[in-house]
Amino acid sequence: MTVLVASDLDRTLIYSAAALGLTMPDPVAPRLLCVEVHESKPLSYMTETAAGLLAELTADPSVVFVPTTTRTRKQYQRIRFPGRPAHYAICANGGQLLVDGVPDRDWRRQVAARLALECAPLEEVHAHLLATADPAWLRKARVAEELFAYLVVERALVSDEWLKALAQWAEPRGWTVSLQGRKIYAVPRPLTKSAAMHEVARRTGATTTLAAGDSLLDADLLLAADAAWRPGHGELADAQWHAPNVTALSTAGVLAGEEILREFGRAAGRAAGALRD
C-alpha cells in the first residue's frame, strides 16, 4: 500500500518573509524554522510544528512525499526539508521530474513533444510579455527551464486590466496566466503538475493520491488527487474555487501549512486502515 502526497511548496507548506508578513494570522507569532537559504540569507520558513509533522509523515514507509512546485530545479534544491529526503520531486510546474535530485530525461522528452504539438512557442510568449509589460512596474523577466516565462513585478502597480488582457491573449495560444505574490507566470496549458503526479503514481504503484496547493497553477493537481486541500489564502481562495474532492480550509498564512500536514497524516492513516480492513 502506497499513499502519494503531492504538495505545492510556496505559500502552501513554506513561506517567504514577504508571505509571512502578508498572511500571518496568529497574534502570538509561532516558532519558525528556516528551510531555505540563498546567498547566505534566510529565505523561506515553516513553523517548527509543521516541520515535526512533515518529518513524521515522511517517516511512514507507506507514504511517498513528492514536493510539487513551479520553482526551477535549482530553486527547489535550495530547500532543506526535515525528515526523509524525497525520492521524487516535481519542478517547473511538471516540466521536470527529479529522481534523487536528477532530472528524468524520458519525462522531459515526453513534455517537450507535447508542448511542441499543442502550444505557441515560448519565444513568442516571452516576447509578448516584454513588449507589453510596463517598465514602471516590471522588475525582472525570466525564462524557467526553457519551459515557461515569468515576470517579477511591483504588484500594486499592475492593473487588473493588463492581467486580464494577457490571459485573453494567452488562452488561444495554449498558455495560462497566474499571479502569485510578486510573480506573474505564463505557463503552457499542457505543462501541469497533475501529469507529473500521475507519472509518479504509476511508478510507485500508489493506491491513494493526496494533494495541496494555493494557486490557479495548482488547480489541476488538486482535481487529479483522490483528496486535496487548499489554504484560506491565495488565488484559489480569492476566487472562491471549490471542487468535490477539495477541502477549502479557513486557516490562512503559515499556520495553514500545519493544518495541511495534519490532514495529510490523517488521510494517509485512513487509507492505510481501509486497505488493512
pLDDT at 102: 96
Domains delineated in the chain: 3-111+191-274 (3.40.50.1000), 120-188 (3.90.1070)
Measured between alpha carbons, how far is 116 from 137 in angstroms, rounded to an integer? 32
pLDDT of 35 above 90 = yes
* pLDDT tens digits, 51-86: 999 999 999 999 999 999 999 999 999 999 998 999
- Angstrom distance (rounded) from CA 228 to CA 263: 9
Instruction: Give residue 28's pLDDT.
Output: 64
* pLDDT, tens only, 147-159: 999 999 999 999 9
pLDDT tens digit string along 105-145?
Answer: 999 999 999 999 999 999 999 999 999 999 999 999 999 99
What is the pLDDT, as a whole number, of residue 18?
A: 82
Average pLDDT, the chain: 93
- pLDDT surpasses 60 at 277: no
pLDDT at 1: 76
Q: Distance between terminal CA atoms of the chain?
A: 12
Q: What is the 3-state secondary structure (H, E, C) of 59-122?
A: HCCCEEEEEECCCCHHHHCCECCCCCCCCEEEEHHHCEEEECCEECHHHHHHHHHHHHHHCCCH
In this prediction, residue 181 carries a pLDDT of: 80
